[in-house]
A and B are shown apart, each in its own frame.
Chain A
Amino acid sequence: MAPIVPAQGLMAPARRSNPRSWQGWGFVGPFMAVFALVFLAPIVYSLYISVFRQQLVGGTSFVGLENYQRALSDPLFWSALVRVSLFLLVQVPIMLGLALLVALAIDSGRLYGKSFFRISIFLPYAVPAVVAALMWGFMYGTRFGLVGNLNDALGTTLPDPLSPGLILASIGNIVTWEFVGYNMLIFYSALRVIPTSLYEAAEIDGAGQFRIIRAIKIPAIRGALVIAAIFSIIGSFQLFNEPSILQSLAPNAITTSFTPNLYAYSLSFSGQQYNYSATVAIIMGLITMVIAYVVQLRGMRKEA
């Protein structure tokens, strides 16, 4: 499975130093024990309950893969999946592109007040998603919010960011705001460890800045890009907090099946269909894993 593995110093040195033994488990054991309790056991339990159906009338019955069949033909599930895919295709490139540009700008050393930029753009990461959503929710208000203020000040009629047509973009904006700095920092950290000798050689060859970026910097941080992309993909598919909190402001724009995660949540917590909910969540998990894996493979292949 997905080798997002840190390549260097992993297998090789260990093999040299220490023959295969169970000793390593002494260190890895505690993590794996808790991991088994809070991750594996619930997953196994989810798989188990996903083959049953529990009814208000009639109790529990074994239904085999019926829940899976139902999910695969459930328009609500698919529309939620299409929505987060759209979100993924638009928001993630914008966010990562922006993060990369800023990281390159800071790394170039050509900015005034470099460290101020670095820490300031990173700050939103420290803001809880709940607070970010509440805050942006206030600002999105067309009457008392910042959008309303702009309308008053400029005499414009800006479209309501919380209307059905714009809500996805508005959520994308919140997520981008939260994570641009975080991704920037990951890229920046990766850029910093590129050996200087590479630049020197390139400059001697007369390569310009853009060429250095394209030929040296980007390939050198490919690993960080792939990891950031994978985490962003997982994050997009799991989108929950922001729409869930904005739901009270825009109940008609954010339906109970707005994202797959929100759908799974509504299924179990307002519909009591927790067997089906578990099924939806498992399918989403599988889809996420497959896509993350493909991105991984592609990312690594290009690197060769």
Chain B
Amino acid sequence: MTTTTASATTSAGRRGAGPLRTRSRRAHSVERPRRSMVLTVATGIVLIYSLVPLVWLVINSSKTQASLFGSFGLWFSGDFALWDNIVQTLTYDGGIFVRWLANTLLYVVAGAGGATALAIIGGYGLAKFTFPGKRAVFAIVIGAVAVPGTALAVPTFLMFSQMGLTNTPWAVIIPSLISPFGLYLMWTFAAEAIPTELLEAARMDGASEVRTFAQISLPLLAPGIVTVLLFTMVATWNNYFLPLIMLRDPDWYPLTLGLNAWNAQAATAGGEAIFNLVITGSLLTILPLIAAFLLLQRFWQSGLAAGGVKE
């Protein structure tokens, strides 16, 4: 790893406006141009593309298994069965869906929470300390990200089975604890958001590193933390490949695996076709994430903007 002079120069040249000042440009007249209907319509095409499948999902969640395949996909048909479907989804097979939901929450809280915590302190350490092996750390982390998941799947499975971890929640949680992207985000964010002078002052006052971190740095990192938390949440919530390999007991499935199992159920000799539940279950699966994104918009967008992916 090298910090190329090229990028260093660029970033130095960009320094004219600090991260905090840039936002003020929103108030400037340059930023209040005429609205354009043409551009709105053109972008609207992408908007429709993004939303149509979600609309399809909502509409079809309201259909029974019978009308699902007998009616036009983008309009309501037959009885409005959304509530029935939801009740059925939640109670089918002894309420296994609720169990999967609880599992997913567990994996998200422990996995995404842990991943965020590790990324925060790791990113902070990388941004604000010089230590032997630092260059190697980055090289190794980025290099490892490029190795396909399947390369790790079998060996990880073997290792974990030796440790007696397979088919337990740990098998899903432990690998979720690592988010290279989260580490990267926190690294850039900490480098930007925490003035080194502040740390120096604290050290002069004799504060320990841990205390400096907890009392001075952590509050400054808040927007970045929310951002990383959201992205790791999405990653764990959407996790499929890892649990697919590690778990065999449906009682430990996360939602993604459970939904796929339901979908596969109909394709099994003697299985009961429950496509309506797959669709309703899919809707219920994405709702919490969408809600989290909408509610926390303000935080994660500023986190991305102020310290996130930019050069």
Contacts and interface: CB of A to CB of B under 8 A. Distances in A.
Interface in A3-52: 3-32, 34-35, 37-43, 45-46, 49
Contacts of A72: none
Given A6-B187, A8-B8, A134-B263, 18 more contacts: A18-B130, A23-B129, A23-B131, A24-B130, A28-B126, A34-B177, A98-B46, A111-B35, A131-B285, A134-B260, A135-B279, A189-B305, A189-B309, A193-B17, A193-B305, A195-B17, A196-B31, A240-B241
Interface string A229-242: 00100100110110
B290 A126 contact: yes
Nearest to A265: B150
Nearest to A7: B7
5 tightest A-B CB contacts, nearest first: A223-B311, A27-B125, A281-B151, A24-B129, A196-B25
Interface stretch (A55-63, A164-172, A197-205): A197-205
B191 to A, nearest CB: 4
A121 interface: yes
Contact of B151 (A41, A153, A282): A282
Contact of A303 (B1, B7, B19, B306): B7
Contacts of B139: 1-2
A285 interface: yes
Interface in A241-259: 241, 245, 248
Given A31-B118, A105-B42, A130-B240, A285 B147 contact: yes
Most chain B Cβ neighbours within 10 Å, of A41, A189, A221: A189
Given A38-B174, A43-B147, A186-B304, A110 B34 contact: yes
B269 interface: no
B122 A10 contact: no
A161 interface: no
Interface of B: 1-4, 6-12, 14-17, 19, 22-25, 28, 30-37, 39-40, 42-43, 46-47, 49-51, 53-54, 56-57, 60, 68-70, 72-74, 118-119, 121-122, 124-134, 137-156, 158-159, 174-175, 177-178, 181, 183-184, 187-188, 191-192, 196, 199-200, 203, 209, 213, 234, 237-238, 240-241, 255-257, 259-260, 263-264, 267, 275, 278-279, 282, 285-286, 289-290, 293-294, 297, 301, 304-306, 308-311
B147 A282 contact: yes
- Interface of chain A: mostly helix, strand, loop or mixed: helix
A213 interface: no
B16 to A, nearest CB: 5
Interface of A: 1-32, 34-35, 37-43, 45-46, 49, 98, 101-102, 105-106, 108-113, 117, 119-132, 134-136, 138-139, 143-146, 149, 152-153, 177, 180-181, 185-186, 189-190, 192-197, 199-200, 203, 220-224, 227-228, 231, 234, 237-238, 240-241, 245, 248, 260-261, 264-265, 268, 274, 277-278, 281-282, 284-285, 288-289, 292, 300-301, 303-304
A186 B231 CA distance: 12
